[in-house]
Amino acid sequence: QYGAALSWIPTSTVSVGKELSENEREAAQRLQDDPRIMAALFGQQTVRLAEDVAAGPLLRDRWRRDSDDLLGAAGNAVVSAALHIYLAGYRDGVPAAVLEKLRRQFLPESIRYNPNVPAFAEALKWACTPVFGFSSLLVAERNNRYRPCRQLAYWLVNQPDRPRISDAIWKAVLEL
């Protein structure tokens, strides 16, 4: 309906390089308090800058949207467990066994005890599958540990209505 009316609006394309230019690196040095900037500066990111920018909304959408099917709900429960641990202040990779133990509390009540909910291994694989070739919701680390993707974790931390951390999460963090 609005397509014809809006067709006169000028548009422009912004090219985002895969890596920071020398000028961008110099400007970024002034923002050393931001861990995302420091990761980009020192190559600690798992994806390139343009991919990082593009992936954020796609990852948030997948985390919210795909819980309509059993595999998506099971995968999102694993991701949610990792995110809650991150929200509690733990920034290292979380052992898979801890995520497996905590995931049930993040399943929707309607399927929490459904015998057809996929096994943890399937849910973990779903959570670690890249979205459109970009980042995955969970990032595998050494020693069978996983952490939530940076884009999703940073976004959730900055939400004014971020979820409350349960006692089970606090207990798990204290035991890590």
Side chain identity at 85, as an amino acid letter? Answer: I
Residue 160 has pLDDT above 80, yes or no: yes
Structure tokens at 100: 């497996």
Among 13-22, 44-53, 54-63, 109-118, whose mean pLDDT is lowest? Answer: 44-53
For residues 43-49, average pLDDT: 52
Predicted confidence band at 68 (pLDDT cuts at 50, 70, 90)?
Answer: low
pLDDT one-digit tens code per residue, 82-132? 999 999 999 999 999 999 999 999 998 888 999 999 999 999 999 998 877
Arithmetic mean of pLDDT over the chain = 79
Residue 3's pLDDT is what?
Answer: 46
Residue 82's pLDDT is what?
Answer: 96
Percentage, residues of the chain above pLDDT 90: 43
pLDDT one-digit tens code per residue, 17-28? 656 677 777 776
Q: Return the higher-pLDDT residue of 10 and 156.
A: 156
Cα angle 131-89-130, degrees, rounded to a multiple of 5: 10
% helix / strand / coil in the chain, to the nearest 5? 55, 5, 40
Length of the chain: 176
Residue 2's pLDDT is what?
Answer: 45
Structure tokens at 171: 């207990």
For residues 30-57, average pLDDT: 60
Residue 1's pLDDT is what?
Answer: 45
Percentage, residues of the chain above pLDDT 70: 68
Residue 60's pLDDT is what?
Answer: 72
Cα angle 58-53-143, degrees, rounded to a multiple of 5: 75
